Amino acid sequence: MGCNSHLAIEVRPYKHSPEHWYLWGKDLAECRWYWLYGKMAGVRGDDSPVVEPRGFPEDVSPDFNDDWGNDSGYHTPTWLKPSEFFKCLDGAEGGIPWEWAAIFSLLKSLQTDLGDDNVRLIVAFDN
C-alpha cells in the first residue's frame, strides 16, 4: 500500500491580530514523492527530515478542525515555514513534479506578502 501526504496552508494575514491563524487551503492536490516525504517528516525517505516532525500546531485555526486527528488514520503530522519547505527541496534530482512546484510557488508568494513567520504548510501522511 502506498503513502500519501495531506496538505493544508495556514496564514496570519492581519498585523492587528498576529495570534490568529486562518486556513488558506486544505486537502491541496499533490503527487506521491517519497523523497520529499523523507525531507519533510522522515516518512518513506532515506534522509533525515530538515526539521523533526512537530505534530499539529497547538494554535491551529478553528477552520482546520480535528478531522485530521487521531481517528483519521493519518500519522507523522508536522508543519513547516516556507523557508523550511524550500530547504526540503534542495538537491531534488530530476526536477520538481509540477504539483509540488505549484505549492512552492504559492508558498513563495505568501511568504513574500506576509513573511516567513506568518505562513505554514501543515502535512500529515496516510498509508
| Strand boundaries in 42-105, DSSP class E | 75-80
Q: Number of structural domains, the chain?
A: 1
Rounded Cα distance between 94 and 107, Å, is: 21
Amino acid at position 127, single letter = N
Q: Cell numbers 505568501 correspond to what residue? A: 110
Cα dihedral 116/102/49/92 (nearest 10): -120
Query: Is a pLDDT exceeding 80 seen at residue 70?
Result: no
**pLDDT (tens digit, 9 = 90+) per residue, 10-67?**
999 887 777 789 999 988 878 899 999 999 999 987 788 999 999 989 888 888 765 6
Domain that holds residue 17: 4-126
